[in-house]
Every structure is written in structure tokens, then in C-alpha cells.
Structure 1
């Protein structure tokens, strides 16, 4: 059995928000004051404030690109971990246009969204499939793709953080690790824990944008990690054609099924 998970704050937040608060039995006792105090002591207000500031910076962006290098750990049946390196390039125009190029050691996918239709293309296999008439902003696209079709774009937390879809109430602990430097940029390093996951973020002191993310799954004893280093260009501009898919010569359209592109991969690209 192949074990592969997408360890992102979005996946965690979606699962937690779907279940909501746990239902308490009628004879259960309320949490004690000491327990509440202990929980509160695990939350550094400065770390939460940094997240809120990051969210505001993300929401203020109108047009930008991100070039990110990624490392994902995969846990084999034997418990052995292997690492897969990759790259994710984003072109984004708010409120409703994006292009994403996802490349790894095992596969390559391109995602086009022009404000109406989402198209997924495999340059290696030359197969593409579309979800027509999404007709929403990028927040709507992210949630619809995930909830309705099981499509998880990498780093889509960037479109949800700072909105009502992600709540810092989910955070069990938050700490300020300290200052650092990434690519000559001064950053502040923070660490957080939520149900089933630990995650770290390095936030630029200059822009308040995330420069690096590390997400660690606690559900697997091997504790696999996902790491992304983010290089931002907030001055980028794009033509409409950057977000519109035009089938290249030799490309073939396949009907959309949640696992259709995965099935295509099994035929010859790797998974």
C-alpha cells in the first residue's frame, strides 16, 4: 500500500471545521479552571499576532508569483521514510485567476483557472481534464476543489489564512522560536501545534509573508514532514493568457473523475 498524505494547515483546518466542536455528554463535567489556565499558558500571544499580521499581508496581495522548492517525506509499509523533492510555481491574480505548475521527482501537473473553469494538465502524458463553471474567487475555488472533488492544490492555505475559514482557536500551542535569516532576508521563526499536526513558519520581518513552512504529521509514528521554501515576487504582472488553458498539439481530454489523473499516472508517469 502506498502511503501519501498532503500535510498542510488547509487539510487540518478543513477536517476540524467539518466536525466542529465535540458534543459533550450531559453528565460530563466542564473543564477546570486550572486546565484552561494551563492550555492558555501554551499560547504565546506574540506568535498568534504574527499569524494575524501574516494573514493581513496575504489578503492585501493582488497580483504575485511564488517559486517554491518542496520536500515531502513518504512512509513505506516497512516504516522507512523516503524524500521526494519538487517545485511549485504560482502565478496569481486576485480575485479569481491562477496558474500552478507542480513538479516533483514522480510527476508533473499544471493547473489553470481563468475565473470560470479549472483545467488540470499532465505535460508528460498529454492528458487534461476540466471542471467547468466553477465561477468563483480563489477562496471558493480552493474550497470547492477540496470539498467537492478531492483536489488539493499545494500551499492553498495562502488563500485562506486571514479569513474566517481558518481559526486560530484550532491552535493548541504557539511559541516564538526566534529570529533567523533565509536567503539574506531577516525572518522570525514560530512553532505551532494543532490536533494531529505540528507546523512551523518563518515569516519575513520586511513583508510579513511566509518564507518557509514545515508541517509534521503526528498521526503516523514515523512523523513524516512536508517542507516548502517560498520565494515571492509581489511586483509580477500577467496577461490573461497566463491563466487560460489552450490544449497543445497532441493533448487529449479525458472526462473528469476524482482519481482520473491518478489513474492516468499509473499508466506511465509514476505516482
Structure 2
């Protein structure tokens, strides 16, 4: 009987120890996940605070826009450009692809869009800050500036709205710069960001993946030659019509997007 009792006791202890170990592992995993999430939030806030604090910013960029055809072929359209900002209300940007060659100037009062290939331009009165310009371009004119979320005065507010899941994926290297790699989930999109390590935590790469369009197409922007503060060259944000470009209405300005003219937007699924 004593042997039977001892055997039962040993078995019970082993089961209890196993259950406790499983519980500890489970708690440790959960705690680690929460720690990673908190650290990821801190890294994103550091990036946001750094970008917000810069009066002058300039960089070059490369974009990839995925499109999915009716027969489910996934195509990648590439473009490049430059951006220069002097806060609170000055911006110059260029955008070049196989289907677009545009320049944008904003002096705090007037937005000028120049179609360089056809030597035409249009102007719209948009008095206000860079934030107001970016919102107006996206919401009123459906002409969002590439990486606009990263250029607002508080990028964290734009990026974190609606986020339901956060992951710290460790480090990666973008353009030779070691970065912290973070991943976030929202209802309609997943997005990832690579943030430069060190005392200049600027965004090196930003990728958005749609969850509402068949084929889950992505949009990505990769920054290079990032400069801030006194390292940014002095720029002129006023329009000088040195090429005698023809003035047209905004609706008549072609090549507003990185899409071929024979592409037609479908509905989200």
C-alpha cells in the first residue's frame, strides 16, 4: 500500500510540476509579448518625436506600388522622387516614374503642381501648414504625397490610429543602415516600418499591405540620403515659371499617379 501511495504521490507531483512549468512558460511568453509591444511603441514614439522636432528635412525615396489585375496577376510599379520640408509651411517634392514626372511646390499659401514632361502647371490656394497641405491633398484632391503619414507634425497619431496588434521583429538593414523592424495590424491593412538605430531614428522603410483587396497588394517607400537640421540645403519654395509653362486647371493635369493611363481602378473586395 505504501508503495502504491508513494507511486501516486510521485505521479501527482510530476503532473503538478509539469502543469506549473506549462503555466510559467505561458506567462513568460505573454509577458515577453507585452514587453516587446511596449518596446515597439517606445521605438515608434522616438521616431515620431525625432521627426516632429526637425524644422528642416530632406530625403530621396523609391516606391513600389503593387497592382492586381482582373486575372489576378500581381504587378509592381516603381517610382522615385525627393522631398524637402521646412516647417511649419514649406514643401518641395518631385515624383518620377514611367507614367509620371511631377514637381510640387508649397509656400504656405499656394500649391503649385508642375507637369514637367508637358511643360504645364496648375495652382491651388491652400493656406496653412504642411499638415494641412497633406490632409487636403489626400482628402480633397486624392493626390496623397508618398509617405505622408511620416511627414506629419506627429507621425505617431497617424500611424497608431486603429492599431490592434504590435510586434517587435528585431533588427534589419535598409540601404546599409541598421534598423529596428516593427510590424502593426489594423482592420483593413497591415503595415511595417524600419527605423534607423542610434540618435537619428528616422524611418528608412515603410510598407503597407491591403487586407481588403484580393492578392493583398502592397505599397512601399524606402528613404535614402536622409538629412535634417543644418545639413539640409537651403531651398526656394516659390514658383518661378522659367520654362514658360502653360497654366491649366487641376483636373486637366495628367499623370497624377504612378499608374499607366490604360489602368482602371477596381473596387476593394
- TM-score, structure 2 as length reference: 0.76
Between the aligned partners of 1:147 and 1:225, the Cα distance in structure 2 is 21
- Say whether the 8 Å CA contact 1:125–1:269 is kept in structure 2: no
Any idea what the Cα deviations from partners look like across 1:183-242, whole Å, max 9, x if unmatched? Answer: 332211011111211111010112111111111111112111112111111211313x3x
| Stretches of structure 1 lacking an aligned partner (at least 5 in a row) | 1-36
Count of paired positions: 226
Rounded to whole Å, the distance in 2 between the matches of 1:195 and 1:229 is 24
- How far, CA to CA, are the matches of 1:57 and 1:264 in structure 2? 31
Q: Which ranges in structure 2 are unaligned for 5 or more consecutive residues?
A: 1-29, 264-269
Structure 1 residue ranges, 4+ long, deviating more than 4 angstroms after superposition: 40-43, 268-271
Bigger CA radius of gyration: 2
Does residue 162 (structure 1) correspond to residue 154 (structure 2)? The answer is yes
Q: Distance in 1 between matches of 2:162 and 2:185?
A: 9
CA distance in 1, matches of 2:256, 2:49: 39
CA distance in 2, matches of 1:41, 1:79: 38
* CA distance in 2 between partners of 1:263 and 1:167 (Å): 28
Quote the offset at 1:153 in angstroms: 1.2
Q: As a proportion of its length, which structure holds more helix?
A: 2
1:146 to 123, 133, 138: 138
CA apart distance, 1:106: 1.6
Structure 2 counterpart of 1:236, from 189, 209, 232: 232
Distance 1:164 1:85 in 2: 27
Q: Is the 8 A contact 1:68 1:89 kept in 2?
A: yes
CA distance in 2, matches of 1:158, 1:220: 24
Kept in 1, the 8 Å contact 2:95–2:102? The answer is yes
CA–CA distance in 2 between the matches of 1:75 and 1:146? Answer: 22
2:48: which partner in 1?
55
Instruction: Write the distance in 1 (CA, Å) between the matches of 2:155 and 2:207.
Output: 21
CA RMSD after TM alignment: 2.6
Q: Which residue of 1 aligns with 2:217?
A: 224
- Whether 2:188 is the aligned partner of 1:196: answer yes
Distance 1:216 1:194, change over 3 A: same
Q: Which of 127, 130, 151 is equivalent to 2:123?
A: 130
Partners of 2:227 and 2:131 in 1: how far apart? Answer: 21
